[in-house]
């Protein structure tokens, strides 16, 4: 037999190789779910692997869902205590962190039941245990009882998410030192907490604990809060936290953490030190790849545990894809689900034409919340794009006055000549909800994206969405 005939025979055998599944998805967070559902609905044999005993991933059990449920409870508590109609002449109602955790637990249960139903209805096979690669098509699943399942698939998706970063010199086993996952097991009621890291997670928990009456020291390693935001939004959050009693220390780094039986003392490189009942370390996250034995599949993660992928989310190894936090930016649950969906299309069709929307909205669930889509003023100024600004302050809206949510504003950035909307930034209650109105208009093609839409359409009255009309009129009145 000639060399060419042998090669063709070998290729034919490899293409008809029998696998247990068409696809294996490692991880059941938004990215894994998006991929699994789209593959299953195209009649593919799909297996999911989850190391926790319930589906949902970090998003459902430790991240997005519990923190937002906690935030909602605290926000309603603040609203109750600040409304004289409900609290006239009474002492302010007090709740502990443990009190509001019960609501978060109920939401998690509902989410798990819902997501389990998705997999069951679509006949996706479940494996619970720790996954690791044997080779590029073979996965071992180590169950909690010590038994091992070995399964194979033509294609594999890594959707293992991320975990809080743990520096070696901080003792996370100490009962007064927490990360953003373990804080959900907080059993005492602290009077004062130090939060190290003023990113999205740190800022959200600063609002939650301050809303419960806990003294909060927020240590920011940078020179401003959430520096990726439009400066006005960042400044608004800083002022609101300061006005509510949060002490923010910018440009600081931890030198060491001293733990005692009844307190934690944080020593900063600047020479400052502070003491509190507990420490929440929320400075960075790491991709969950350390236990996957990636080398067996010919893969290697970077120093942050993340994987490099192509536009269609394929890794350096053909047939192995990755989505969600494990690939880094934008590290949003909403984007991860879409990445999973787009990844599934590439796995099925091989074209990779589908792409994430350019204007991904950002929702930050501080109190009040922040949401943005598109460019910031700083980006537009740097790019020398002639833009104008339209603003609406919530305190002028009838709906905000009715609901007593007067803090906040909506800002629309638009091109002076074409009137194309370039960015929308909102600070205030329901910001993450109403931002989608602006996002929808920004997606319109062929001249449909202009600020004039908000003037020419009719909004329900009274609503918070009316802020778009007010901001549009304010901006158009600036043109000359």
216 annotated as ligand-binding: no
Question: Which residues, other chains included, contact 266 with Cβ-Cβ below 8 Å and sequence gap of 6+?
Answer: 194, 196, 219, 254, 257, 258, 273, 274, 275, 276, 279
The per-residue pLDDT for 103 is: 87
197 annotated to bind ligand: yes
Range from 74-88, 235-249, 388-402, 445-459 carrying the lowest mean pLDDT? 74-88
Residue 81, pLDDT score: 87
pLDDT at 424 over 90: yes
Is 478 within 8 Å of 390 (Cβ atoms)? yes
425 is in an annotated binding site: no
Q: Is 331 annotated as a binding residue?
A: no
Residue 319 has pLDDT above 70, yes or no: yes
Asked whether residue 341 is marked as a ligand-binding residue, the answer is no
Q: What is the mean pLDDT of the chain?
A: 93
Query: 200 labelled as ligand-binding?
Result: yes
Q: pLDDT grade, residue 82 (50/70/90)?
A: confident
- What is the per-residue pLDDT for 456? 94
- Residue 89: the pLDDT is 61
Give me the torsion for CA of 330, 331, 334, 335, rounded to 10°.
40
Rounded to an integer, what distance in angstroms lies between the CA atom of residue 425 and that of residue 392? 11
Residue 325 in marked binding region: yes
Tell me if residue 436 falls in helix, strand or coil.
helix
* Cα 382 to Cα 385: distance, rounded to the nearest angstrom: 8
Q: Helix, strand or coil for residue 372? A: strand
**What does the pLDDT read at residue 88?**
62
pLDDT score, position 10: 44
| Distance (Å, whole) CA 411 – CA 356 | 24
pLDDT for res 17 = 76
Alpha helices in 217-307 (DSSP H): 231-243
Whether the per-residue pLDDT at 6 is higher than 60: the answer is no
Q: Bigger pLDDT: 79 or 153?
A: 153
Weakest-pLDDT range from 103-107, 148-152, 153-157, 244-248: 103-107
Residue 166 labelled as part of a binding site: no
Mean pLDDT of 383-397: 98
Number of Cβ atoms within 10 Å of the Cβ of 433:
14
Q: Domains of the chain: which residue ranges?
A: 16-164+286-349, 177-283, 368-476
Taking residues 247-270, what's their average pLDDT? 96
Q: What pLDDT was estimated at residue 175?
A: 95
> CA gyration radius for the chain?
25
Check the annotation: does 362 bind a ligand.
Answer: no
Question: Residues 181-214: pLDDT tens digits?
Answer: 999 999 888 999 999 999 999 999 999 999 999 9
From 79-88, 103-112, 344-353, 383-392, the region with the lowest mean pLDDT: 79-88
Q: Is 221 annotated as a binding residue?
A: no
Model confidence band, residue 56 (pLDDT cutoffs 50, 70, 90): very high
408 is in an annotated binding site: no
User: What is the predicted pLDDT for the residue at 5?
Assistant: 47
For residues 202-232, one letter each, b for 16 or more C-beta atoms within 10 angstroms of the residue's C-beta and e for the rest, the string is bbbbbbbbbbbebbbbbbbbeebbbeebbeb
Are the beta carbons of 406 and 395 closer than 8 angstroms?
yes
pLDDT at 85 over 80: no
Check the annotation: does 68 bind a ligand: yes
Q: Please say if the pLDDT value at position 15 is more than 80.
A: no
Name, of 75-84, 86-95, 315-324, the range with top average pLDDT: 315-324
Cis peptide before 330 (omega within 30 of 0): yes
Three-state secondary structure string covering 45-78: CEEEEECCCCCCHHHHHCCHHHHHHHHHHHHHHH
Confirm or deny that 284 is annotated as ligand binding. yes
Tell me, what's the pLDDT at 93?
Answer: 82
Q: Is the pLDDT of residue 442 over 50?
A: yes
Would the annotation count 53 as a binding residue? yes
The confidence score (pLDDT) of residue 364 equals: 96
**Structure-token pair, residue 205:** 């928990």
Residues 310-325, mean pLDDT to the nearest whole number: 96
Residue 115 labelled as part of a binding site = no
Distance, in Å, from the CA atom of 16 to the CA atom of 407, rounded to the nearest integer, reads 63
Annotated binding residue 50: yes
The whole-number pLDDT of residue 16 equals: 53
What DSSP string runs through 75-138? Answer: HHHHHHHH-HHHHTTSPPP---HHHHHHHHHHHHHHHHHHHHHHHHHTTPEEEESEEEEEETTE
Give per-residue pLDDT as tens, 278-298.
Answer: 999 999 999 999 999 999 999
The owner of tokens 């975990």 is 163
- How confident is the model over 208-222, as pLDDT tens digits? 999 999 999 999 999
Is 129 within any annotated ligand binding site?
Answer: no
Same fold: 177-283 with 368-476: no
Tell whether domain 16-164+286-349 is in CATH 3.50.50.60: yes
The values of phi and psi at residue 317, to 5°, are: -105, 125
92 annotated binding-site participant? no
Whole-number pLDDT of residue 84 = 78
Whether residue 56 is annotated as binding a ligand: the answer is yes
Is 59 within any annotated ligand binding site? yes
199 labelled ligand-binding: yes
Work out the average pLDDT over 351-377. 91
Does 52 appear as a known binding residue?
yes
Say which CATH class 368-476 falls into. alpha beta
Topology of the domain comprising 177-283: FAD/NAD(P)-binding domain (3.50.50)
426: annotated binding-site residue?
A: no
């Amino acid at each position: 037999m000639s060399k060419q005939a042998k090669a063709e025979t070998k290729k034919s055998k490899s293409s008809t190789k029998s696998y247990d599944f068409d696809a294996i998805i490692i991880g059941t967070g938004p990215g894994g779910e998006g991929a699994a559902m789209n593959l299953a609905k195209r009649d593919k044999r799909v297996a999911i692997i989850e190391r926790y005993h319930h589906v949902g991933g970090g998003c459902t059990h430790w991240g997005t869902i519990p923190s937002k449920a906690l935030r909602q409870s605290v926000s309603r508590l603040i609203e109750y205590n600040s409304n004289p109609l409900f609290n006239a002449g009474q002492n302010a109602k007090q709740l502990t962190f443990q009190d509001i955790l019960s609501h978060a637990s109920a939401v998690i249960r509902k989410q798990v039941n819902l997501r389990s139903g998705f997999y069951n209805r679509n006949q996706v096979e479940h494996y619970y245990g720790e996954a690791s690669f044997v080779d590029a098509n073979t996965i071992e699943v180590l169950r909690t009882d010590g038994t091992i399942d070995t399964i194979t698939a033509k294609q594999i998706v890594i959707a293992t998410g991320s975990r809080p970063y743990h520096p070696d010199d901080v003792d996370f086993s100490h009962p007064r030192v927490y990360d953003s996952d373990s804080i959900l097991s907080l059993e005492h009621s602290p009077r004062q907490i130090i939060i190290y890291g003023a990113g999205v997670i740190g800022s959200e928990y600063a609002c939650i604990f301050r809303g419960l009456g806990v003294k909060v020291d927020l240590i920011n390693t940078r020179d401003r809060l959430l520096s990726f935001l439009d400066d006005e939004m960042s400044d608004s959050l800083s002022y609101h936290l300061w006005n509510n009693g949060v002490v923010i220390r910018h440009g600081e780094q931890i030198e060491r953490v001293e733990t005692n039986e009844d307190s934690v003392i944080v020593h900063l490189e600047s020479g400052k030190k502070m003491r509190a009942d507990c420490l929440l370390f929320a400075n960075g996250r790491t991709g969950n790849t350390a236990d996957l034995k990636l080398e067996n599949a010919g893969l290697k993660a970077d120093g942050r545990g993340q994987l490099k992928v192509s536009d269609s989310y394929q890794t350096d190894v053909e047939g192995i894809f990755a989505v969600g936090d494990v690939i880094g930016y934008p590290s949003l649950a909403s984007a991860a689900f879409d990445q999973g969906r787009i990844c599934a299309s590439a796995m099925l069709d091989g074209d990779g034409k589908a792409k994430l929307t350019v204007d991904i909205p950002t929702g930050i669930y501080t109190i009040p919340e922040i949401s943005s889509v598109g460019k910031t003023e700083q980006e537009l100024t740097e790019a020398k794009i002639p833009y104008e600004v339209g603003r609406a302050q919530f305190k002028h809206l009838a709906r905000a006055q009715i609901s007593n949510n007067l803090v906040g504003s909506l800002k629309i950035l638009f091109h002076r000549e074409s009137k194309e909307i370039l960015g929308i930034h909102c600070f205030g209650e329901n910001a993450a909800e109403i931002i989608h109105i602006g996002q929808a208009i920004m997606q319109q093609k062929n001249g449909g994206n202009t600020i004039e839409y908000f003037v020419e359409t009719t909004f329900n009255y009274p609503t918070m969405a009316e802020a778009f009309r007010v901001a549009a009129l304010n901006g158009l009145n600036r043109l000359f």
